[in-house]
Every structure is written in C-alpha cells, then in structure tokens.
Amino acid sequence: MVSKKVTIVNAQGFHMRPASTFANALAKYACDVTLKVNGKDVNAKSLMNIIAACIKCGNEVEVVCSGADEEAALAEATAMIESGFGE
C-alpha cells in the first residue's frame, strides 16, 4: 500500500468534470484507489462517490493505492489533483 497527501487547488474543487476525468483515468489500474478526506473513505474510481464527498478547494486529500500497480496509480492520481485538473 502506498499513499500521499495532496491539496485540492482548483477553485471549484472536485465537481463534475474533474471527478469524471479522475475516475476514468483511474479505471485502467487494477489496484484499489481510495481518497481519505474529511474523515471519509471515498472510492476514487466512482464519479458518484467523489461527487457525494463534496471535496472543495483547499481540502487535504490522502490518496491511498493498494494493489499490483499502486505506484503508477498514485503518481497519476496525485499529479492530476496537484495540477488542478487543468482548470
């Protein structure tokens, strides 16, 4: 299991478009990806769970990957969040 803490930087947080891009990008990995945020565990491959978690700009999120390709998944997931999803 690997994990890293990152901060949400795009102004609107994890709204529809970023959540959708994020979940889609992670679908290709075999490992489980979980976002630990505001005391909740969120399935990062599910757009709906991400939206329900209501993750806002400035929130600190711990990305936890567990499985065969965990390193690659963690790298891509954190890079996407840190880049603010290009917004």
Partner 1 sequence: MMKGLGASEGYGIGRVMLIVDRELTYTPREVADIDAELERFHGAVETFTANTFEQADAVRKSTGDKEAEILEGHIAIISDPFMKGEIENLIKAHQCAEAAVEQICQMFIDMFTATGDELTMQRAADVKDIRDSLLGILLGVQEVKISDAPAGTVLVVHELTPSMTAGIKKDNIVGIITETGSQTSHSAILARAMEIPAVLSVPNALSQLSSGEQIIVDGNNGDVITAPSQEQVDEYTAKRDTYLREKRELEMFRGKPTVSASGEEYELCCNIGTPKDAAKAMEKDGEGVGLFRTEFLFMDRTSLPTEDEQFEAYKTAAVVLKGKPLIIRTLDIGGDKEIPYLGLEKEENPFMGFRAIRYCLQNRDMFKSQIKAILRASAFGDVRIMFPLITAVEELRAGKALVEEAKSDLRASGIAFNENIPVGVMTETSASGVIADLLAKEADFFSIGTNDLTGYTMACDRGNSNVGYLYSPFQPSVLRLIKSIIENGVHAGIPVGMCGEAAANPMMIPLLMSFGLTEFSVSAVSVLKVRKNIAKWTKAEADKVAEKVMAMTTEKEITDYLKSVI
C-alpha R_g of the chain: 11
Interface map 23-42 toward partner 1 (x if CB under 8 A): xx--x---------------
Phi, psi of 57 (to 5 degrees): -55, 135
Q: Provide the sign of the torsion angle of the four alpha carbons 64, 33, 73, 6, taken in this order.
A: negative
Q: Provide the sign of the torsion angle of the four alpha carbons 47, 51, 56, 61, taken in this order.
A: negative
43 is an interface residue for partner 1 by CB under 8 A: yes
Q: Give the active site residue among 2, 10, 15, 66.
A: 15
Question: Is 34 one of the catalytic residues?
Answer: no
CA end-to-end span of the chain, whole Å?
Answer: 30
67 is an interface residue for partner 1 by CB under 8 A: no
4 is an interface residue for partner 1 by CB under 8 A: no
Least distance between partner 1 and beta carbon 61 (Å): 13
Positions touching partner 1 (CB under 8 A) are 7, 9, 11-12, 15-17, 20, 23-24, 27, 43, 45-49, 51-52, 54, 56-58, 84
